[in-house]
Each structure stands twice: as structure tokens, then as C-alpha cells.
């Protein structure tokens, strides 16, 4: 491919309506319409409300992404969209819009696994072509991937782009869910994770501690439903002992965050010991918005001499830029659909796995 392809990418897997335009790995525009404030009053994402908001927002976000990229739909060469995993009725909105667009303008269509987008998000470049990995992407493999989002906590072995083996995953709640559920116990509102990690900065390490889940298991799986129960009992005890939450909440958040980080580091270290040939560590997902989690995981990578590949902050949560980078590599590998019947054969897959 002599010239990098111009791609428009869509993501409506949860509560953000996202559209991005990329030239190869370079992000020309990335527009996200967030619904956080709408869902906050319900304490979490309500799929039907999210669907209605997606339907209302997607034409506007699409136009804005094209305008910011200074291109027209006629200029675009490929249309890409997340088809899973995610909330079924929300995935459907973006998928239908993107499929209709590809067919109407006779553009090849690229269906993208949302989790592959998170995995490859650290390979995105800005519009000037600057980023963490500017060249020699192939030299990073084989690699490990650690994906931590609202519904997913996964360890992936990456032989090369497009060839993955899942080494471990959560057996119940994901890290993001644990943060939000514990945040709710602490009356932080939705989403609770960002407040919890912020409060942890003011807490004293070791004053309140939590047992690290799956610490002694020989596999690479995670589990966080037990820590949620432990947190519930601990908040009840503390509220009986103290008059005000402010007397213990910072130390509580410090202890909870330390436990989460330690649980991730233990499994990551085990994976590194098991696969000594690994050269790089790719991370992605909204939980990496916590700079402390990002830094602590990075220390493990650097201690082992790995290249640490992580996305810029705007591409850590759900976004269409990451869908575009996954689509770019799919295009290079000729994994595109060109006829209307093949394009329409792609259906939403809420439980899609890497």
C-alpha cells in the first residue's frame, strides 16, 4: 500500500458516541459525545437510554469528525466500526450507521473487535505523525497485553498483530466494575473509579488493607467480586466506629487502590516469567486513566526491559480512534468486506472475545 488509507471509524459499544478519521495510524480527528452525566442519576449505564442518545448523536458526531479532519465522505477509503463486545442495543446503532454508510458510498467495510482496539491504542499517532511508537512496530512482538476497562480485565499473549491468545481474564467482576461498585458504597456517584483513585492520593498506605484476590492461584485469571464484598463489610465497620466518612475514606481508598495494583502486578509478573521471549507490553482501557495504575504497570515493564506501549489519555476510554488503528492493521492484512451482502452479514456480538 503506497499511501496510508483514509479511514472513518465508529464506536457505540457503551455510553459514548465516538467517530474518528485516521490517515493510516495518524488521527486526523476524534470526536466523542459522552453520556456520563445522563447516566449518573441512575448510578450506571442504562442501555436503552444510551441507545436513544446514540441515535440522536451519531449523525452530528459523524459530521463533526469529517469537518475537523477537513475531509469529505467521498475522500474516505474505508469505513470501520466496533461490532463487539459491548451492550447489544448500543452496538447496533453504530454498526447500522456504518454499514449503511459503506454501502451507500461503495466503501469497503472493516468490522473491529473493541478489545483489539484497546490493545492497539498505544500505536496511534497524532495528526503530525508523533507518538510513542513511530516506527519498527514489528520489533515489539511477541508481546503481552493487559486490558482493563469497565467490563474487562484480560491478559493477552500477542504473537503479532491479529494473532492473540487470551492467557487470563476476570472470573467475575472486572477492575472497572469493582471501582464503580465500591465508589457507590462511598457515595461517590457514577462513575466512582476516578474519585476513588483521586482520594487515594490523600490516604496513608497500610492503614486500611485488603486481601489480594487470586494471589496464590497458579493461573493468570483475576477475580474482584470478593473484594467488593470485603469493602462492603469494611465500610459498615468503619461507619459504626467513626462519626464521619471523612475520618477514614482517604485511607480506605489508598488501601483499595494498592490492592488492585498489587493484584495486577502479581499476574503480570507471573505471565512474564512464563513467557520470557516477550519484548513489549501493550496496555489499554479506561482504568488506565489512573496515572498511578499506568505508572506502576509501567515499572514492571521497564524492570524487565520491555517497550511499554500505552495510549494517550484521550484514547484510554472508549473511543473511535482505537477502532481506526485496529481497522488499519486489518486493511493491511486484507481483512475487509466489499459487497453489500458481506457487509450486512456482520451482526453485533455483545460477548465477542479476543
325 in a known ligand binding site? no
Q: Decide if 353 is inside a domain.
A: no
228 in a known ligand binding site? no
Note down pLDDT in tens along the chain; length 354 residues. Answer: 458 999 999 999 988 899 999 999 999 999 998 766 666 666 666 677 878 888 999 999 999 999 999 999 999 999 999 999 999 999 999 999 999 999 999 999 999 999 999 999 999 999 999 999 999 999 999 999 999 987 899 999 999 999 999 999 999 999 999 999 999 999 998 888 999 999 999 999 999 999 999 999 999 999 999 999 999 999 999 999 999 999 999 999 999 999 999 999 999 999 999 999 999 999 999 999 999 999 999 999 999 999 999 999 999 999 999 999 999 999 999 999 999 999 999 999 999 998
318 in a known ligand binding site? yes
CA dist., res. 197 & res. 192, Å (int): 9
Counting the structural domains of the chain, the total is: 2
Q: Which domain holds residue 332?
A: 6-132+314-344
CA dist., res. 164 & res. 117, Å (int): 13
39 in a known ligand binding site? no
CA dist., res. 84 & res. 350, Å (int): 5
Q: Please indicate, yes or no, whether residues 145 and 289 belong to a single structural domain of this protein.
A: yes
Q: Write the CATH number for 300.
A: 3.30.420.40
347 in a known ligand binding site? no
100 in a known ligand binding site? no
In degrees, to the nearest 5, what angle opens at C-alpha 44 toward C-alphas 30 and 177? 85
33 in a known ligand binding site? no
- Contact residues for 204 (Cβ-Cβ < 8 A; gap 6+): 250, 251, 254
180 in a known ligand binding site? yes
Q: Please indicate, yes or no, whether residues 290 and 177 belong to a single structural domain of this protein.
A: yes
Amino acid at each position: 500500500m503506497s499511501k496510508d488509507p483514509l479511514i472513518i471509524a465508529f464506536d457505540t459499544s457503551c455510553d459514548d458516541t465516538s467517530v474518528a478519521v485516521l490517515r493510516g495510524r495518524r488521527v486526523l480527528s476524534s470526536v466523542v459525545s459522552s453520556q456520563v452525566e445522563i447516566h449518573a442519576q441512575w448510578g450506571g449505564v442504562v442501555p436503552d437510554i444510551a441507545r436513544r442518545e446514540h441515535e440522536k448523536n451519531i449523525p452530528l458526531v459523524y459530521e463533526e469528525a469529517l469537518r475537523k479532519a477537513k475531509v469529505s465522505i467521498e475522500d474516505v477509503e474505508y469505513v470501520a466500526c466496533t461490532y463487539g463486545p459491548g451492550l447489544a442495543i448500543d452496538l447496533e446503532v453504530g454498526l447500522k450507521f456504518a454499514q449503511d454508510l459503506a454501502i451507500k458510498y461503495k466503501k469497503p467495510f472493516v468490522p473491529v473487535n473493541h478489545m483489539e482496539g484497546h490493545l492497539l491504542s498505544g500505536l496511534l499517532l497524532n495528526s503530525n505523525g508523533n507518538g510513542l511508537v513511530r516506527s519498527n512496530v514489528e520489533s515489539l512482538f511477541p508481546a503481552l497485553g493487559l486490558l482493563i476497562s469497565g467490563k474487562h480485565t484480560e491478559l493477552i499473549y500477542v504473537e503479532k498483530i491479529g494473532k492473540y491468545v487470551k492467557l487470563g481474564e476476570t472470573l467475575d467482576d472486572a477492575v472497572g466494575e469493582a471501582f464503580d461498585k465500591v465508589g457507590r458504597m462511598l457515595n461517590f456517584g457514577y462513575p466512582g473509579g476516578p474519585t476513588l483513585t483521586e482520594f487515594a492520593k490523600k490516604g496513608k498506605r497500610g492503614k486500611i488493607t485488603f486481601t489480594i484476590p487470586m494471589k496464590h492461584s497458579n493461573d493468570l485469571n483475576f477475580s474482584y467480586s470478593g473484594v467488593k464484598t470485603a469493602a462492603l463489610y469494611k465500610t459498615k465497620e468503619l461507619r459504626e466506629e467513626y462519626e464521619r466518612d471523612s475520618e477514614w475514606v482517604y485511607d480506605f481508598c489508598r488501601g483499595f487502590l494498592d490492592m488492585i495494583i498489587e493484584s495486577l502486578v502479581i499476574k503480570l509478573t507471573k505471565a512474564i516469567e512464563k513467557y520470557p521471549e516477550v519484548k513489549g507490553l501493550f496496555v489499554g482501557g479506561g482504568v488506565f486513566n489512573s496515572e498511578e495504575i499506568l505508572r506502576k504497570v509501567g515499572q514492571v515493564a521497564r524492570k524487565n526491559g520491555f517497550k511499554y506501549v500505552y495510549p494517550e489519555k484521550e484514547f484510554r476510554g472508549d473511543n473511535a480512534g482505537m477502532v481506526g488503528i485496529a481497522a488499519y492493521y486489518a486493511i493491511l492484512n486484507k481483512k475487509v468486506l466489499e459487497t453489500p451482502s458481506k457487509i450486512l452479514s456482520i451482526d453485533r456480538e455483545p460477548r465477542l472475545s479476543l
